[in-house]
Amino acid sequence: MRAASVLLGLAASALAAPSLTPRDGDQFKDGQPISKDGKGGRILGGTNKALDLQNPDNLGRQPTDAGAVPNLKWSFSDSKTRILKGGWVREQVVTDLPSSHDIAGAQQHLTKGAIRELHWHKVAEWGIVYNGRITISAVDENGVFQATEIGYGDVWYFPPGVAHTVQGLDDENEFLLIFDETDFDKIGTTFNLDDWVAHTPKDILAKNFGVPESIFKDVPATNPYILNATVATKNVTGAVTPEAKGDASFVYRTLQHPPEKIGGSGGTFYKIDSTNFPIAKEIAATFVTLKPGGLRELHWHPNAEEWLYFHKGQARASAFIGNGASRTFDFSAGDTAVFPTNSGHYIENTSKDEDLVWIEIYKSDRVADISLSQWLALTPPEIAAQTLKVPVDFIEKIKREKQVLIE
């Protein structure tokens, strides 16, 4: 009996969990899920080292992360690039980022003279130029038209059904496209001019325009999407309908307006929605620059999901989706992200010497957020203090206005 007891004791000791041994430091920045308090261990199987190094928070670096939060990030570098004569395009749609329920995005590149063929969409289109110059041209159901040159930081908006096209003016031109439909590639969403004409009987075309059928003998059998061309030099003449100007314009020249007045001094914050760009009734946006080490304060959006495109720099953000579930993500230029409606989050510039530049998109007519700091500051201080178990004077000292961008 005594021998059996000894053996059982030895077995129990062998099966007992080993104690955690503190380490000199964590190894997340080295691409290993090892914390300084002894948790984790080296990855021994197959792994993408470059991705691990780019995403240290995916390795468990934040002890505040918990619960099951779906993936909220997609990089345009992971998208299939469609190469064409005159440019390229790469998309992020619902199959790439299923967590995005409102917005699809794309990067598009045009060489000088190249045309994104004439077309229209069932959904709204929003775009911003971040390199070069392009001509945008559009016509609505009342014949209101506009053909104008736009450049860096300029935004355009085409309501659903508006006929339009864009043409590159500089040697290399590139822009971000946004659509308020995540399944953007499905049939019945985009309608290309050549595609339609090629599938219409030539006698009908001739009758419609009052010309011989031979006029249409060279119409492409398949739509080119992007085509090489020369820069247009002729303007529209003899129009009997008005040109889109002022509040009716399809264009908003962001940097010709002052940034929003905010409480913080961490950067610049441009709002682009129906309050200053009246035609943009389905898509609202911001254009944000955050200083090195700065913070987009803790907040949430009550009216829509937030879709983001990171244009420059490096960032970190955590999304809290309720019920103890939170997850931290690392971002760099070319990444897109989505924060669910009403989820609490922040964005931090993790660089010490480079600005963080990003664009926020909302399927809404306006930009709206609720600031955590302002909420606490405008709540009876004893209630807020007792809830968080913090000193009352901490609550009383919180600034009453939104800080937005904190230095």
* pLDDT, position 392: 98
* pLDDT, position 402: 97
* pLDDT, position 221: 85
Domain range summary for the chain, segments of one domain joined by +:
75-252, 257-406
* pLDDT, position 406: 98
CATH architecture for segment(s) 257-406: Sandwich (2.60)
What CATH class has 75-252? mainly beta
Residue 101, annotated as binding a ligand:
no
Q: Which one of 213, 360, 396, 401 is the catalytic residue?
A: 360
Residue 257, annotated as binding a ligand:
no
pLDDT of the chain, 407 residues: tens digit per residue: 555 554 445 444 445 555 555 566 899 999 999 999 989 999 999 999 999 999 999 999 999 999 999 999 999 999 999 999 999 999 999 999 999 999 999 999 999 999 999 999 999 999 999 999 999 999 999 999 999 999 999 999 999 999 999 999 999 999 999 999 999 999 999 999 999 999 999 999 999 999 999 999 999 988 899 999 999 999 999 999 999 999 999 999 999 999 999 999 999 999 999 999 999 999 999 999 999 999 999 999 999 999 999 999 999 999 999 999 999 999 999 999 999 999 999 999 999 999 999 999 999 999 999 999 999 999 999 999 999 999 999 999 999 999 999 99
Residue 301, annotated as binding a ligand:
yes
Residue 199, annotated as binding a ligand:
no
Residue 311, annotated as binding a ligand:
no
Is 348 one of the annotated active-site residues of the chain? no
Residue 396, annotated as binding a ligand:
no
* pLDDT, position 317: 98
Q: If DSSP states are collapsed to H, E and C, what string results for the chain?
A: CHHHHHHHHHHHHHHCCCCCCCCCCCCHHHCCCECCCCCECCCCCCCCHHHHHHCHHHHCCCCCCECCCCCCEEEHHHCCEEEECCEEEEEECCCCCCCCCCCEEEEEEEECCCEEEEEEECCCEEEEEEECCEEEEEECCCCCEEEEEECCCEEEEECCCCEEEEEECCCEEEEEEEECCCCCCCCCCEEEHHHHHHCCCHHHHHHHHCCCHHHHCCCCCCCCCEECCCCCCCCCCCCCCCECCHHHCCEEEHHHCCCCCCCCCCEEEEEECCCCCCCCCCCEEEEEEECCCCEEEEEECCCCCEEEEEEECEEEEEEEEECCEEEEEEEECCEEEEECCCCEEEEEECCCCCCEEEEEEECCCCCCCEEHHHHHHCCCHHHHHHHHCCCHHHHHHCCCCCCCEEC
pTM of the entire structure? 0.92
75-252 and 257-406 agree in CATH topology: yes
